Amino acid sequence: MSTDDREWQSRKYEREKSLSRLLENNRTYRNLTPSELCDEAIARGEGRLTHQGVFTAVTTPHCGRSPNDRFTVRESSTADHIDWGSVNVPFEEENFFSLREEILQYLDGRDLFLQDARAGAHPDLGINVRVVTHNAWHCWFAHNMFLRLSRNQLETFNPNFTVLHAPGFEADPEKHGTNSGTFIVVNLKEGEVLIGGSNYAGEIKKSIFSVLNYMLPDQDVLPMHCSANLGRNGDSALFFGLSGTGKTTLSADPLRNLIGDDEHGWGADGIFNFEGGCYAKTIRLTPESEPEIYKTTEMVGTILENVVLNENSSEPDFDDGTISENARASYPIEYIPNAVVSGMAGHPENIVFLTADAFGVLPPISSLTSEQAMYHFLSGYTAKVAGTERGINEPKATFSACFGAPFLPRSPSEYARMLGRLLEEHGTQAWLVNTGWSGGGYGVGERIKLSYTRAMVRAAVGGDLSEVAVKEDPVFGLSIPVTVAGVPSEVLNPPDAWKHPSDYHNAASDLAQMFKDNFDRLGPEIPSKIKQAGPK
């Protein structure tokens, strides 16, 4: 061991001791049950109960992630492997340690809540995670979202990563090098995450997702922002998609078993869930559209985040987005009756890329070659529509590499190469499914019915389309099945659904150019055969 390494080890030991002293000198509630955490949260005024006794919290003004306040510490052991830029913004080591020290000072004298858990269902490929926070309900959120441990496991627990969570503490940008009072700082070498200035609970789990996205490729595992389910015959399927594309809805299929709804790894043994819970959107949730998810919102142990309650009855109003369109429910995965509690399955036979195309151009379903799969994986396309974000008055194309660019420490091409290899090795079929508009763009056409999308997805992952004749899309080169049981033929082929074919071709040409422009920004390291798999 070099002198520098010995000095670093010595300093790290002292930092660990300072955290241990904090936990020992303050009242620290360790690994409480959800019932105990609920009592503490209510007693401390952190939230309120619905008419059925379900806890709900409000996190305004932060009701979603703060991408501009996310940083990665630049240090010598990992710097050469991180794709620095607007996503992975470098943070100086000295600023990290200064910020850390002030967080410990802020937490000193407060009641603390500690949750020990696991991220990664695979016994050899996950990490031990410790969350320390001054809010009971955030500790409860960690209990719901990460993998829960047995009493024996807790007795011998040693964390690989620690999240110091201080939502009540705000940074000083001039002093600490942040952009605002809010910060999410990941230090891969130290094995720590600092979070402050935001009550939005999703920052806790997404920070650990980013850690796994960095670590797992070195273990020959592809980390993925996707949901996964399992058929009755043991056939697994993956569902990639950005917010609003139906990833959670379509994977929570009563005819298949749910492995997980958000984050998975794919390695030599197959796929495995990173989490022990689900974090489902609840805006406009109904028992008819998503019965399994709706039922969880009535179950004690679920946490509702930014859900409006009726002032007189305390009943949730899932149609009311005045707090946030990003209202969510956090619940243990076993609350879904057909969940795969082990969180593991074999190699997927199908992967589905979901996009909500607001231009009404992409076919509702099409099969992809391996090159096309890598192209659309790297593109990560969907479209935002009016009302989803401030300032959006018409459809806006959104591209997020690998359907999870905000969480990728490494270059997107590295993850794409891994996906291409896995597809070839295991003969996995890829599909592109448009859950957006047909017969015209947003405001002109109609959103594709969920019943049609479910029928198409079930046919694809069930193998019913393997022998169906296909028609090639003239603009995107996609293979469109001519028939799908339960779906009108005019819905399957986009030009047929438009009133004026020339309007379709103009819109298709415009979207194709958006794809090309985005792909040009990915850099020269993308192989030409993948670039050629895009629009013609």
Catalytic one of 59, 62, 65, 253: 65
Residue from 138, 165, 176, 206 carrying the catalytic annotation: 206
Q: Which member of 235, 261, 262, 473 is catalytic? A: 262
Is 178 marked active-site? no
Do residues 45 and 64 lie in contact, with contact meaning Cβ atoms separated by under 8 Å?
no
Instruction: Report d(CA 62, CA 127) in Å as an integer.
Output: 28
Q: How far apart are the C-alpha atoms of 360 and 398, rounded to whole Å?
A: 15
282 is catalytic: no
> Does 317 qualify as catalytic in the annotation?
no
Catalytic residue among 138, 176, 225, 458: 225
DSSP state for residue 12 in the 8-state scheme: H
**How far is Cα 389 from Cα 381, in angstroms, rounded to an integer?**
17
CA distance 291 to 295: 6
Of 122, 138, 247, 376, which one is the catalytic site residue?
247
The H-or-E segment that residue 511 falls in is helix 501-520
Q: How far apart are CA 203 and CA 128, in angstroms?
A: 17
Question: In the structure encoding, which two tokens stand for residue 206, read together?
Answer: 């997404």
Q: Spot the catalytic one: 198, 207, 248, 330.
A: 248
Known catalytic residue at 249: no
Q: Is position 51 annotated as part of the catalytic site? A: no
Q: How far apart are the first and last CA of the chain?
A: 56
Known active-site residue 248: yes
Contacts for 310 with CB less than 8 Å, ≥ 6 apart: 316, 317
Catalytic choice (66, 243, 314, 369):
243
3-state SS string for 363-385? CCEEEECHHHHHHHHHHCEEEEC
Which DSSP symbol is given to 51?
Answer: T
Spatial separation of the C-alpha atoms in residues 381 and 370, rounded to whole Å: 17
206 is catalytic: yes
**Residue 281 annotated in active site:** no
Residues with a known catalytic role: 65, 206, 225, 243, 247-248, 262, 328
